[in-house]
Amino acid sequence: MRQIAEDIKQNHFKQTYLLYGEERYLRRQYREKLRQALCADGDTMNVHFYEGKNISVGEIIDLAETLPFLAERRVIFLSDSGLFKSGGEKMAEYLAAPCESTFFVFSESEVDKRSKLYKTVQSKGYAAEFAPQDESTLKRWIGSTLARDGKKITESTVQLIISKAGTDMDNIRMELEKLVCYCMDRDVITDGDVEAICTTRISNHIFDMINAIADKKKKEALELYYDLLALKEPPMRILFLIARQCNMLLQTKELKSGGHDNRSIGAKIGVPPFIAQKYVNQAARFKASTLRDAVRQCVEAEEAVKSGRMNDMMSVEILILSVLP
């Protein structure tokens, strides 16, 4: 990210940029920074946007070989093309020696770092990974974002926002916009405001449900399940998330027993280190055998619903009660 900022500052650009990773908000922000820096205002002749996996690489290469019309450069933006996962060999060959006046900006959710296209961009251009941000970075960003809107907030209230909204910056940004509108006539945002207006992500409900199961609180676990149903979440999606949570806890437990620290565990299960600590704490409350049984029961519950042997809503109820240690 610093390299992109430096390139913009120096007005000296690589011909190819790859912005990839889970954090969509930051990818979008840096893509826009590059657009503003590379493209002249109002230029519609030399700026091109492609999205999705059905793009024609041949068509793009033909376009790239066309000299810009009354401009310094032609810029091609591609989003979620999937070329960094498969089918990118032809593009890789072209980007090894592209037309000097054509620039590329790729934005991808997932890439295969072993692919020829990724290696080409890495060697000839610049690849920037946008991973979920750590807790301290999110706190600073939330504070500065609200400050620009004239709002003040305590660190504990910021922590409450993260606990409800998760670490996805797009999701957090939407919650902050709701809070600013809700507190329009006040300078300070309180815990009460967050509780009143912010939406708790379904994954947080699942986490709390697993905690209730660990505490052998059957009633609380079922109430959380009914809350999700009231929010129009399909029972089979809830079942999938319970299975996913149990599987991640099992992985966490095995990694922890193998001597891995939170950063290493987070990298392997795909969460920031401070979230990994929560998984470590929750996994410690279960035996590995209990978690394996829970994953197996989730599979059996799904099969029972698909075969028509059990109602989907009831299957999850029975599961919640049966995985109690």
Measured distance CA(195)–CA(189) in Å, rounded: 11
pLDDT for the residue 325: 52
For 314, other C-beta atoms within 10 Å of its C-beta total 13
pLDDT at residue 324, rounded to an integer: 54
* Per-residue tokens: 256: 């922890």
Say which residues have a Cβ less than 8 Å from residue 284's Cβ, sequence separation at least 6: 253, 256
For position 77, what pLDDT does the model report? 97
What pLDDT, on the 0 to 100 scale, is given for residue 203? Answer: 77
Structure confidence at residue 167 (pLDDT): 85
Domains along the sequence of the chain with CATH: 2-129 (3.40.50.300), 135-197 (1.10.8.60), 202-322 (1.20.272.10)
pLDDT confidence of residue 40: 87
Contact 133, 167 (CB under 8 A): yes
Helices (H), the chain: 2-10, 24-38, 57-64, 89-95, 116-124, 135-148, 155-165, 169-182, 191-197, 202-214, 218-230, 235-257, 262-269, 273-283, 288-306, 312-322
Cα(70)–Cα(286) distance, integer angstroms: 66
The residue among 66, 69, 64, 73 whose CA lies nearest residue 95 is: 64
Helix orientation angle between 288-306 and 235-257, rounded to the nearest 10 degrees? 160
> Is residue 80 a contact partner of residue 108, using CB atoms and an 8 Å limit?
yes
Closest CA relative to residue 320, chosen from 209, 160, 170: 209
What is the distance between the alpha carbons of residues 125 and 97, in angstroms, rounded to a whole number? 11
Place of tokens 């109820």: 317
Contact 320, 222 (CB under 8 A): yes
What confidence score (pLDDT) does residue 165 get?
Answer: 86
312 vs 30, 188, 237, 304, 305, CA distance in Å?
43, 44, 10, 9, 6
Q: CB within 8 A of 282, min separation 6: which ones?
A: 207, 210, 211, 214, 249
Amino acid at 288: A
Question: Please, are residues 131 and 33 in contact by the beta-carbon 8 Å criterion?
Answer: no
What are residue 78's DSSP bridge partners?
50, 106
Q: Going from the first residue of the chain to its last (325 residues), give the mean pLDDT of each consecutive group of 10, the final group possibly shorter.
A: 90 95 93 94 92 92 94 95 93 95 95 95 94 89 95 93 88 93 93 89 82 85 88 87 90 92 87 84 90 90 90 89 68
